[in-house]
Structure 1
Amino acid sequence: MVAPTIDLMIQWHATLTNAFGDQLPHRSGDGTEQAVGVLGGGTHEIRPITVTTYDSAYRYIDEYGDQFGLLIADEIHHLPAPTYRQIPKMAIAPYRLGLTATYERADDAHELLENTGLIGPVVYEEEVDELAGEYLSEYETIHMQVELTDDERSQYDEEYGIYREYVDTHDFDLWKAEGYQEFLAHTSYDSDGRRALIAKQRAEELARTAAKKLDTLDTLLKRHHDDRTIIFTANNDFAYEISQEFIVPCITHQTKTDERTEILERFRTGEYSILATSQVLDEGIDVPAANVGIILSGSASKRQYAQRLGRILRPTDERQPARLYEIIATDTMENYVSQRRREGVEAGT
C-alpha cells in the first residue's frame, strides 16, 4: 500500500491492522509474523502487508519491488509524477489497484496510468451524489458573495488593471497550462512582466482576505455553533489570522504531527468544534465528525474543491445534511476561479 503522506500511511496502517489482526502465518511456513509493516517516517519494517509513502517506495523500489504480488496506490493521481512512475515500472506485482476521489489531472497526466501500463484502466467509479445518503452524508453547497470595501476595491482595480493590461498585450491563454507557463517565463526577464505578476498576486491577496469575508464567517460560525466546522484558506497567513481573530485551533503544514493529532482528537470528541486550516487537510486525512466546511479562498483546482467537499462527507449519526459554503469576493478573479473549480464536481446537486 503506497500513500502520499506520512499521515495517510499511519492511517492505512491502523486500518489494515484492524482488518487483518496483528499476526499472519510466516511466509516460510514456520510460526507467525507481524501482519502489517511500515516503510517510511523513520520505520523500516517489511511485512506481508507493507504500508509506505510514495517517497519511500521510490527510494526502495529496487530493493523490495520483487517481494509483493499486489500493489495498491492511494491517491493515485500522484503516481504520474516523473519520479513516482518508477514505482510501478520497477515492481513485479501482477495485480495493481489505484484509489482516488479525484482521478483527472489538469495536465492530463492521468492518461499515463492506463496508456503506459502503470496501473490500468478505470474499472469502477461512483459519483458523489450516488454515494450520498448511504455511504456519505447528504450534502448541499452554498455559494455566497461579498463586496470589497471602497479601499479594497480601489487597490484591487489598480493592481488587476496592471496585470490585465500586460496579459492582453501579449495574448497569453492563461486558462491553459502552457499559456500560464509562457506568462511566467516572460516575468523572468521582462520587468513589466514581473510587475504584472506582482500586481496579480496583490489583487488575489486582496480578494482572498476581503474584510467582509470575516464578517460573513462570523455570521456562519454563530449559525453553526452546534456543528463541527472546518474553515479552508489558501495560505498559512490567512489561516493563522482567522485562528487569532476567532480564537480557534489552526492546522497548517507547519503544525507538528503530535500537535495535529491532538487537535484532531479534540475535534473528534467535541472539545473543539471549529478548525482553521490552509491546505494540509485537503487530501485524504480522515477528519472526524466535520459536517460544515467554509471555503474562504482556494485555487481553481477541481481536485482541491472535491477534496474539501470530501472532508465533510463522513457519515455521522446526525440526520441533517453536511454543508459546504464558498465565500468569494464579487467582481474579482475569484468569480472565475470558483466557476472553474466547481465544474463537473457538483453535477446533479
Structure 2
Amino acid sequence: MTDERPAEPSPDSSDDEPDETDPARGDAVDGVSESGGDSGPTNDLTLAEFHDACQREGRPVLTAGAVARWLDQPHERVSERLTALSEEGELERLSVSTDPVVWYPSELDDLTERERVVVFPKRREIVVDRPAQFTRAQLSQFAHLADANGENGYRYVVRPEDVWQAPHESFESLERTVRQALGQRSPALEEWIHSQWDRAHQFRLTTHDDGYTVLEAKSAEVMGNVGRQKLDEEHVHAPISETEDWVRDGAEAAIKRLLYEAGYPVQDHRDLESGEDLPIDLTVGLREYQQTWVDRFSETGEGVFVGPPGSGKTVAAMGAMSHVEGETLILVPSRDLARQWADAVAEYTSLEPSQIGQYHGGQKNVRPVTIATYQIAGMDRHRSLFDDREWGLVIFDECQHVPSDVYRRSTHLQSRHRLGLSASPIREDDRQTEIFTLVGPPIGTDWQALFDAGFVAEPELEIRYVPWGDDEQRNAYVSAEGRERYRIAAENRGKVDEIRYLLSAHPDSKALVFVDYLEQGREVADAVDAPFLSGETPHHERRRLLEEFRRDERDLLVVSRVGDEGIDLPTADLAIVASGLGGSRRQGTQRAGRTMRPAGGALVYVLATRGSREEDFARRQLQHLGRKGMTVREQTVEPTDES
C-alpha cells in the first residue's frame, strides 16, 4: 500500500496577513476593469478581487457573504456586482440547498492556470502559484526557493544573504526587480530589504597606495560600534582615521567572516594580483542559465555556482575561466576528480594538455591551469608552490568542504577571482554561511526551473520500507545501542532480496547501488554479480569500471561512500540507496543526482528497514530533495512467506 504525502506542508497563511496584492497579475489593476473601462466607485467588485477572495478562502466557489467578508464590502453591494459580473459572462451562479446562491468563475480552469503571488512581509515569505519563468528569474535575484510542492506551488524566503548578494549596482535597481517579481508594492518588505542593502555596503576592503590592505567603514559610528568591537590586534594594526583601519597581512578572510557573522558583509575591492594572462576559449556552447551564472560571476568576480548534479557546473566554471583568462588553480576533494577535471579542461577548452597540470599524491606538476587536492594545498610543505604563484582564478569544487578546518587553510590563497561549485552547499554543522564568506555569494537557478526546461530530468524518488531478512538481525537490533543499532538496520539482509527484485523489475536500466559499509557492499555485489567500487579499489581499476559504465559496456555497479563526492560517477537510469541514510542531506542530494540527466526518466529507490531509526533518517534526508521540487513517494514492502 502506497502512502503518498508532500515532503513538507505549505505555510499557514493565518500566521500573517498577506500584503494587498494583484493575484491575477494582469486582471484589474489601478481602478481599471478587465473590460478596459473605469471601475467606478472604490467598492465596485472586479473579477480580480473575486479571485483574491477565492485565494484567501482557499476555494474556487464562494457565497456573496464570503466575498463580502474577505473584501470588507457591504453584502448588498457585493451581491449586485456579482450579478453584474454574471451577466457579463465572467461568473457563473448556482443555487444550492444550504445557501441561496454560490458563485464561481466562468472559466474555472483559468483560476488554476493563472500565476498568483501572495506576500507575507512579517515572515519575509512569498508564496507563488504557477509562476512564469520571468517571475522565477526575478525572484532568484533576491530570494531563496525554500519549498516546491510538486504541484506548481513555490515558497520563497528572503534572507539577509539573498539581499547582500543581489546582482544590482543600486537599491533602486533592486527595488524595481522586487516590484516586477511581486507585481505590486510591499512597503514593509521593501523597507526590510533596503535595510539589508545598507548593511551590505557599510564595510569594504581596499588597497592603500603603499600596498597594504585597509578596512573602510561608511561612517565613524559603524566602525566604532561594529568594526572595532568585533576585531582586535590579530586582525588590524591600528586606526588610520575614524573610518579606516590598517589590516594585518593574511587577516582578510577572518575579518570578512567575523563581520559577516555580525550581519555586515564586507565588499572586497582590493587590488589583488590577477596572475599571468592565459587566453582560454570555450569549445562548447553554454546553456542560457549557465551563461547567466557566468554573467553574474563576471559582475562580482566571486561566487558559488549552485545547481543539481547534471546541470553542467563544471562547464559553466570553464566559462568563468574563459571570462577571466588568467592562470587558474582548481581545488578538488580527490585525485580521481583531479584527473577528470584535467580531461574535461583539455576536451572543452582551447588549452593544450601541456598547459594543464595535476598536483596530488600521484603526480606533482604546476602548470598555467593546475588541479590539486585540498589536502595537498593545505600542507605546509606544499603551500609555497601555490602561494608563490599569482593565480587569476581559484576554483573550489565541492566547496561545501571549505569550512572544514583542514580545508579552510586553502582559502588563504589569494586571487582576484574566486569560484565555488556545489550541488548542495548544506553542512550538517550549520556552517554553510562560511562558504559564502570565504568563497563568494550563491549563484544558481532553482532546480524546478531546470526540470521544467528539460535541461535536467527530475528523478522519481521512492522510500521503500523493507522488513527484516531474518530474526537474528532483528533481535540483535533490539538489544544493540547507538551506532551499532544503526549499522545493523543499515545492513539488514532483507535489503539484498529487495535489490534483486528492483533490478529484475527494471531489466533494461543502467543501475547504481549505493552502500555505506564495505562488508555489505561485497555481499550485495556477490548477490547481483556486479563489481564493487570502493576506496580500496585501485585507481586504474576504478577508471576502467567507470569508463565501461559510461560506454554502456556495463550496466550495474555497486558503489561505496567514495561515490558521493570523491569521483565523478556517470549518470544512471536507476539508483538504489541500500544504506547511508544516517548521512548528510548533501549525501542524499549527491546520490539522487546520479540519475539526473538531460533526457529520459529515472528512478531512485531508498531502502529503509521498517520499524527502525532508518525510517526517520530516510524522511529527513529526502525532505531536502522534496523541497527542491522532487516528488517523494513512500511504499511499505510486505514480508514474503520465507521471512
TM-score grouping bracket, smaller chain normalisation: 0.7 to 0.9
Determine the structure 2 residue equivalent to 1:93.
Answer: 415
Determine the structure 1 residue equivalent to 2:377.
Answer: 57
Shift in alpha-carbon separation, 1:126–1:209, aligned structure 2, 3 A: same
Determine which of 429, 433, 440 is the counterpart of 1:107. 429
Instruction: Answer yes or no: is the 8 Å Cα contact 2:571–2:594 preserved in 1.
Output: no
Higher relative contact order (CA 8 A, sep 6+): 1
The alignment's C-alpha RMSD in Å is 1.9
Shift in alpha-carbon separation, 1:325–1:36, aligned structure 2, 3 A: same
Determine the structure 2 residue equivalent to 1:346.
Answer: 626
Task: Count matched residues.
Answer: 294
Paired with 2:514 and 2:385, the residues of 1 have a C-alpha distance of: 40
Determine the structure 2 residue equivalent to 1:73.
Answer: 396
Deviations 1:194-244 (A, max 9, x none): xxxxx3333223211223211211110111121110011111110001111
Determine the structure 1 residue equivalent to 2:444.
Answer: 125
Deviations 1:56-85 (A, max 9, x none): 222333332242121111000111122321
Amino acid of the structure 1 residue aligned with 2:482? K
Deviation at 1:145, TM superposition (A): 0.9
Determine the structure 2 residue equivalent to 1:10.
Answer: 339
Determine the structure 2 residue equivalent to 1:275.
Answer: 557
Amino acid of the structure 2 residue aligned with 1:10? R
Amino acid of the structure 2 residue aligned with 1:75? E
Deviation at 1:284, TM superposition (A): 5.8
Deviation at 1:335, TM superposition (A): 0.9
Deviation at 1:40, TM superposition (A): 1.8
Deviation at 1:303, TM superposition (A): 0.7
Structure 1: 5+ residue stretches without partners: 24-32, 160-198
Amino acid of the structure 2 residue aligned with 1:307? Q
Instruction: Answer yes or no: is the 8 Å Cα contact 2:515–2:579 preserved in 1.
Output: yes
Deviation at 1:22, TM superposition (A): 4.2
Determine which of 599, 606, 609 is the counterpart of 1:329. 609
Paired with 1:49 and 1:306, the residues of 2 have a C-alpha distance of: 29
Deviation at 1:248, TM superposition (A): 0.8
Q: What is the SS of the residue equivalent to 1:129? A: helix
Paired with 1:255 and 1:226, the residues of 2 have a C-alpha distance of: 27
**Structure 1, 323-332 or 286-295: larger mean CA deviation:** 286-295
Determine the structure 2 residue equivalent to 1:155.
Answer: 476
Q: What is the SS of the residue equivalent to 1:97? A: strand
Deviation at 1:289, TM superposition (A): 4.2
**Structure 1, 142-151 or 305-314: larger mean CA deviation:** 142-151
Paired with 2:534 and 2:566, the residues of 1 have a C-alpha distance of: 15
Determine which of 275, 288, 292 is the counterpart of 2:574. 292
Deviation at 1:137, TM superposition (A): 2.2
Determine the structure 2 residue equivalent to 1:244.
Answer: 526
Q: What is the SS of the residue equivalent to 1:34? A: helix
TM-score (norm 1): 0.79
TM-score (norm 2): 0.44
Which of the two has higher C-alpha Rg? Answer: 2
Paired with 1:86 and 1:205, the residues of 2 have a C-alpha distance of: 34
Structure 2: 5+ residue stretches without partners: 1-329, 631-643
Deviation >4 Å, runs of 4+:
none
Instruction: Answer yes or no: is the 8 Å Cα contact 1:242–1:276 preserved in 2.
Output: yes
Deviation at 1:345, TM superposition (A): 1.9
Instruction: Answer yes or no: is the 8 Å Cα contact 2:399–2:422 preserved in 1.
Output: yes
Amino acid of the structure 2 residue aligned with 1:338? A
1:313 aligns with 2:634: no
- Show the 5 A alignment for 1:29-44: 34-44=354-364
Determine the structure 1 residue equivalent to 2:463.
Answer: 143
Determine the structure 1 residue equivalent to 2:305.
Answer: none
Determine the structure 2 residue equivalent to 1:19.
Answer: 348
Shift in alpha-carbon separation, 1:309–1:257, aligned structure 2, 3 A: same
Q: What is the SS of the residue equivalent to 2:444? A: coil
Amino acid of the structure 2 residue aligned with 1:49? V
Instruction: Answer yes or no: is the 8 Å Cα contact 2:459–2:592 preserved in 1.
Output: no
Instruction: Answer yes or no: is the 8 Å Cα contact 1:236–1:277 preserved in 2.
Output: no
